[in-house]
Amino acid sequence: SPVLWGGGWSILSMASQMLGAPQHEVSQKGAFCSRTEESQPHLSKTDLTARISFFVFLFPWFGLDIGGTLVKLVYFEPKDITAEEEEEEVENLKSIRKYLTSNVAYGSTGIRDVHLELKDLTLCGRKGNLHFIRFPTHDMPAFIQMGSEKHFSSLHTTLCATGGGAYKFEQDFRTMGDLQLCKLDELDCLIKGVLYIDSVGFNGHSECYYFENPTDAERCQKLPFNLENPYPLLLVNIGSGVSILAVYSKENYKRVTGTSLGGGTFFGLCCLLTGCSTFEEALEMASHGDSTKVDKLVRDIYGGDYERFGLPGWAVASSFGNMMSKEKRESVSKEDLAKATLITITNNIGSIARMCALNENINRVVFVGNFLRINTISMRLLAYALDYWSKGQLKALFLEHEGYFGAVGALLELLDSA
């Protein structure tokens, strides 16, 4: 029965506790290694019936990705709860479900990306909606505190978490929230999440898309891309920093390289340069700025194209290079600086991605990560730059659920462990 498969470690642990079976060690990578019938010889048929009813209380299904800047939380809201189940559902669980699904903002910083919600998803035999929630990492202590106040631990669930924060906050979860974190590998989760979401699609639409005519405002079009046969692909995850993975199959991938100049750099520099305080504000400023006042272009140095090496006059020769001059420093606006920061970071990522793609001989490059959220400027620039510098050989692809794949992967690990 699929319901049984979906059980997860916590119910077994509860059941086995009740039945006097030994507890299983929580492994670092997955907590559910020994959950099969064979490994639980004590369970009888009648016990299995008991487990079915237990299973309902196994919710909530969470996947957590605690990054350097943002925490990404995916939550599966079951929509097929029977009256019987509803009756047995403990108060805590009910209130968590209600709290998460009836709000779009949590506290002052938590946000549910309603537009990303995946509806009528079947996950492990259950039907429901997948919700996408994010909040800043620096609010993690408050989140744990809340979990503690709401007696989350009484649900006897295991939280599957990935990202560096899974390590950093493990201790806090245990001591403050009485919760056992199950830490999962970041890159495993990311790839799992990407492949899964792409396969289920986005509420009937394509998850993956690309830009046609990316530099022509009039003719630029976002078009669906069929990633049915995805391998090999270069996966560029732009969070606070950047990781670049070459993916050859579901299990076969490698981290090619990375750079510390990522979304965190854009936002951090913007804060310092413009005094802005949110990512949205930084992007908004950037959209009104002109980076060519800040950057030194090839034509600023050579008067035109640098023909010998085929460099066009409009290419940036030195990012922020004009800011060496006092007059030019005094003539730029904060918007110009924000735009230049965005262009610098984006170009750098694009250029590294291009070199990796060349080295790995891969021509599809998928960009993900929260840096791209509401960031059309960067996406179009990446699309254009990749196309231009590779003379049409490379294609930049994007995914609708940008930064949530790690969290989705963590959730899948929870469910998929069999």
Partner 1 sequence: MDAKFEVSSSRGGSLTKLAYYSTVQHKVARVRSFDHSGKDIENEPLYEISVQEEITARLHFIKFENTYIETCLDFIKDHLVNTETKVIKATGGGAYKFKDLIEKKLGLKVDKEDVMTCLIKGCNFVLRNIPHEVFAYQKDSDTEFRFQTNHPNIFPYLLVNIGSGVSIVKVETEDKFEWIGGSSIGGGTFWGLGALLTKTKKFDELLQLASKGQHTNVDMLVKDVYGGAYQTLGLSGNLIASSFGKSTTADKGIGVPSGTIQLQCFILWQGEVQALFLRHEGYLGAIGAFLKGAEQDNPNQYSWGENYAGSSGLMSTSPDVYPMQRTRSGTFDMLEMDRLERPLVNLPLLKDPSTYIPDTVDLTDDAMARKYWLTCFEEALDGVAKRAAASQPDSIDALQRAEKFRQKYWNKLQTLRQQPFAYGTLTVRSLLDTREHCLNEFNFPDPYSKVKQKENGIALKCFQSVIESLDSLGWEERQFALVKGLLAGNVFDWGAKAVSDVLESEPQFGFEEAKSKLQERPWLEDSYSQWLERLKEGPPHKCALIFADNSGIDIILGVFPFVRELLSRGTEVILACNSGPALNDVTYSESLIVTERIAAMDPVIQSALREEKLLLVQTGSSSPCLDLSRLDKGLAVLVRERKTDLVIIEGMGRAIHTNYYAALKCESLKLAVIKNSWLADRLGGKIFSVIFKYEVPCK
Considering only residues 218 to 277 of the shown chain, the ones binding partner 1 according to CB under 8 A are 239-241, 260-265, 267-269, 271-273
Stretch that binds partner 1, among 99-107, 154-162, 293-301, 362-370 (CB under 8 A): 293-301
Among positions 246, 316, 338, 383, the unique one binding partner 1 when judged by CB under 8 A = 316
Three-state helix/strand/coil letters over 296-347: EEHHHHHCCCEHHHCECCCCEEECCHHHHCHHHHHHCCHHHHHHHHHHHHHH
**The one-letter amino acid at 275:** G
Active site (annotated) includes residue 186: yes
Measured from the CB atom, the residue of 103 and 359 that comes closer to partner 1 is: 359
Q: What is the distance between the alpha carbons of residues 229 and 259, in angstroms, rounded to a whole number?
A: 28
Smallest separation (angstroms) from partner 1 to the CB of 109: 13
Q: How many residues are listed for the chain in this entry? A: 418
Smallest separation (angstroms) from partner 1 to the CB of 316: 4
Measured from the CB atom, the residue of 227 and 352 that comes closer to partner 1 is: 352
Query: To 10 degrees, the CA torsion angle through 26, 27, 31, 34?
Result: -90
Write out the two tokens for 392: 């049409």
Handedness of CA 158, 113, 258, 199 (dihedral sign): positive
* Annotated active-site residue in 77, 186, 207, 335: 186
Phi then psi dihedrals of residue 39, to 5 deg? -80, -5
Calculate ∠ Cα 96-82-59, nearest 5°: 35
Smallest separation (angstroms) from partner 1 to the CB of 307: 10
Q: What is the distance between the alpha carbons of residues 315 and 174, in angstroms, rounded to a whole number?
A: 52
Q: What is the distance between the alpha carbons of residues 210 and 375, in angstroms, rounded to a whole number?
A: 14
Measured from the CB atom, the residue of 166 and 415 that comes closer to partner 1 is: 166
Q: What is the distance between the alpha carbons of residues 391 and 411, in angstroms, rounded to a whole number?
A: 39
Smallest separation (angstroms) from partner 1 to the CB of 136: 9
Considering only residues 352 to 391 of the shown chain, the ones binding partner 1 according to CB under 8 A are 355
Considering only residues 165 to 184 of the shown chain, the ones binding partner 1 according to CB under 8 A are 165, 167-171
Considering only residues 25 to 84 of the shown chain, the ones binding partner 1 according to CB under 8 A are 67-69
144 touching partner 1, by CB under 8 A? no
Smallest separation (angstroms) from partner 1 to the CB of 171: 8
Q: Nearest Cα to 72, choosing from 175, 157, 197, 171?
A: 197
Stretch that binds partner 1, among 76-84, 196-204, 292-300, 403-411 (CB under 8 A): 292-300
Binding site for partner 1 (CB under 8 A): 67-69, 138, 163-165, 167-171, 239-241, 260-265, 267-269, 271-273, 294-296, 300-303, 308-309, 315-324, 326, 329, 337, 344, 347-348, 351, 355
Point out the residues that are catalytic: 186
